[in-house]
Amino acid sequence: MNETATLRARAEIDLAALRANVRTLRARASGAQLMAVVKSDAYGHGAVPCARAALEAGATWLGTATPQEALALRAAGIGGRVMCWLWTPGGPWREAVEADIDVSVSGMWALDEVVAAATAAGVPARIQLKADTGLGRSGCQPADWPELVSAARAAEDAGTLRITGLWSHFACADEPGHPSIAAQLHVFRDMVAYAEKEGVTPEVRHIANSPATLTLPESHFDLVRTGIAMYGISPSPELGTPADFGLRPVMTLAASVALVKRVPPGHGISYGHHYTTTAETTLALIPLGYADGIPRHASGRGPVLVGGAVRRIAGRVAMDQFVVDLGGAPLAAGAEAVLFGPGDRGEPSAEDWAVAADTIAYEIVTRIGTRVPRVHVHEDSGRD
């Protein structure tokens, strides 16, 4: 028996699949560089091993939301270009500058803080100016762009920083034909042209996330930033399945059945008794719950491959466990229950869980808790 088979539960992370996905995405990226987005612990897949695997497969940038995530990559010995974009006042600007991290700047307060940090460190900062081209989230509004560009250019001329990128983010790239896509591209081109006219010479201009990488070649510019597709999940079921894009799901979530027992008809199951057995039957106890990231909202609906068939959760998901009604199927404690994976054995997908929990597959993989060990397999790229 292999060592991981004895675990209560595990998220197996297939790094060969991740590397293959990176290569597939690069081939679709019109010659642009690829940033592997490894924020939020690589969407729950483990930031450091996934970052390494993505770099091996040809990614040239890593992207994180918070500076702490970016610094953690450096602390793990990961070199190359790393960019982070979610800053708050008083953040670790100096540490980021000293760790050679490209930092995003959306407004004047951030520019002031990065200039102060670079001056104190005696090292020029690398900044990327973020434009709000219509997402309405972070980024500099078009009306405020001239002031930000002018101040950043002045700091660049003074040698305090280098403007390495101009970038933005889509609101509706997963809805091909949505009018905001063309509108955002138009605004992005205008804002880039303005900055370049003012003397900015960016290494990279970028706006494309996974759906744009897969469906919008005109959005690829110099760099695409892929997250979900790299983990083998389609950005949206309406766009296609992972297989339609040549992608393979990277995470398999499985557990060891904790208990199998016979119960009589009319037996209530789990908190609130929202499920009652209709006949004498066999129950399997699956030792994963909402504390592990199994959505309580998927109570009564979440699919699991166990005992040779895909079955639905019986009753409520509890903090640490849920129950499946096996009907007449024989099973022993210790048998494997697969919640989702690439589908080779007929197991459900993360997308199936998203449907069951009325959410998106991004949330399903990202929310798997720290109590579930990540088991990275196929780390050796020599066999690809």
Ligand X SMILES: Cc1ncc(COP(=O)(O)O)c(C=O)c1O
Q: Which residues are catalytic?
A: 39, 271
Interface with ligand X includes 227 (CB under 6 A)?
A: yes
User: Cα–Cα distance between 286 and 308 in angstroms, integer?
Assistant: 15
**Binders in 6-45 for ligand X, by CB under 6 A:** 37
Interface with ligand X includes 225 (CB under 6 A)?
A: yes
CB 207 within 8 A of CB 130: no
Interface with ligand X includes 215 (CB under 6 A)?
A: no
Interface with ligand X includes 235 (CB under 6 A)?
A: yes
Question: Which residue number, 233 or 314, has a Cβ lying nearer to ligand X?
Answer: 233
Interface with ligand X includes 366 (CB under 6 A)?
A: no
Q: Closest distance between ligand X and the C-beta of residue 136, in Å? A: 14
Query: Which of the ranges 11-19, 52-60, 219-227, 297-305 carries the binding residues for ligand X, by CB under 6 A?
Result: 219-227
Question: Which residue number, 11 or 173, has a Cβ lying nearer to ligand X?
Answer: 173
Question: Which residue number, 214 or 254, has a Cβ lying nearer to ligand X?
Answer: 214
Interface with ligand X includes 84 (CB under 6 A)?
A: no
Q: Closest distance between ligand X and the C-beta of residue 102, in Å? A: 13
Interface with ligand X includes 139 (CB under 6 A)?
A: no
Q: Closest distance between ligand X and the C-beta of residue 205, in Å? A: 14
Question: Which residue number, 133 or 210, has a Cβ lying nearer to ligand X?
Answer: 210
**Binders in 140-169 for ligand X, by CB under 6 A:** 169
Question: Which residue number, 85 or 93, has a Cβ lying nearer to ligand X?
Answer: 85
Binding interface with ligand X (CB under 6 A): 37, 85, 169, 209-210, 225-229, 235
